[in-house]
Amino acid sequence: MTHHAVEAKTRRQVLQSLLGLVGIAGVGCQNRPQSAPAAVEQRPPKTSQPPEVPSCPICGMPVLAEESENRFEATVPNQPPVQLCSALCAVVYTDRRPEVTRLDVVDYQHRTLVPAMTAFHLYASKLDVRAAMPPLTAAFAVRADAEAIYKRHGGRILTWDELRRAIRQTDNYKTSP
């Protein structure tokens, strides 16, 4: 369709709409009924729905992949990956679901998923970590990265098994849903 054809079609639609409005306004002013104007095709407005944000199956918090610095992803056979909002929810989930075959965590420095079982977890530090639930931890694929952050912010560098034991001793774990 050429540019002129589009302009002509648009003008025709505007004129039809105006004539329709004049016809409707005229009905209220006259006592005799008039025929209805030709209907103008109206398309519903385009609505773009935001992508669905997954929620943590343990606590129900939204798992915001772009914002969370302590997000976990669990793999269960024949199911899509499960997003978990924090170390606490990852421990609770894996304790309840022994069929989990893989657990990944976001590397704090590189923002990529790394195996949680082999990562180094900085626990109880003063590092400002964006996460949904305490205790806040930061994971690192490389021990030297964890040690560099530890020197500035303190805490403890733990393996996954050590982190699980530490979290299981917290009140948050004992009262988790």
Of the chain, the percentage scoring pLDDT greater than 70 comes to 71
Q: Is residue 67 part of a domain?
A: no
Domain count, the chain: 2
Candidate from 23-27, 106-110, 129-133 with smallest mean pLDDT: 23-27
Q: Does the pLDDT of residue 2 top 90, yes or no?
A: no
Condensed to tens digits (0 to 9), the pLDDT of residues 83-105 reads 999 999 999 999 999 999 999 99
Condensed to tens digits (0 to 9), the pLDDT of residues 48-79 reads 655 678 899 999 988 887 788 889 999 999 99
Query: Are 82 and 165 contained in the same domain?
Result: yes
Query: Are 158 and 83 contained in the same domain?
Result: yes
Query: Are 36 and 99 contained in the same domain?
Result: no
Q: Is residue 126 part of a domain?
A: yes
Q: Does the pLDDT of residue 33 top 60, yes or no?
A: no
Query: Are 84 and 159 contained in the same domain?
Result: yes
Q: Is residue 53 part of a domain?
A: no
Rounded average pLDDT over 146-151: 97
Query: Are 126 and 161 contained in the same domain?
Result: yes
Give strand pairing partners of 30.
none
Query: Are 13 and 85 contained in the same domain?
Result: no
Q: Is residue 101 part of a domain?
A: yes
What does the mean pLDDT of the chain come to? Answer: 80
Residue 92 near residue 176 (C-beta atoms within 8 A): yes
Q: Is residue 5 part of a domain?
A: yes
Query: Are 40 and 88 contained in the same domain?
Result: no
Question: 42: which residues sit within 8 A by CB, 6+ positions away?
Answer: none
Q: Is residue 62 part of a domain?
A: no
Region of 60 (left: φ > 0; alpha: ψ -120 to 50; beta: rest) is: left
Can you tell me the distance from the alpha carbon of 173 to that of 99, in angstroms, rounded to the nearest whole number? Answer: 20
pLDDT tier at 144 (50, 70, 90 boundaries)?
A: very high
Can you tell me the distance from the alpha carbon of 114 to that of 102, in angstroms, rounded to the nearest whole number? Answer: 10
Query: Are 33 and 90 contained in the same domain?
Result: no
Can you tell me the distance from the alpha carbon of 60 to that of 176, in angstroms, rounded to the nearest whole number? Answer: 11
Query: Are 23 and 105 contained in the same domain?
Result: no
Query: Are 34 and 106 contained in the same domain?
Result: no
The pLDDT, as a whole number, for residue 176 is: 78
Query: Are 8 and 91 contained in the same domain?
Result: no
The CA-atom distances, in angstroms, between 20 and each of 25, 43, 151 are 9, 17, 75
12: containing domain: 1-45
> What number of other Cβ atoms are within 10 A of residue 129's Cβ?
19
Q: Is residue 58 part of a domain?
A: no
Q: Is residue 119 part of a domain?
A: yes
Query: Are 32 and 92 contained in the same domain?
Result: no
Query: pTM of this prediction?
Result: 0.69
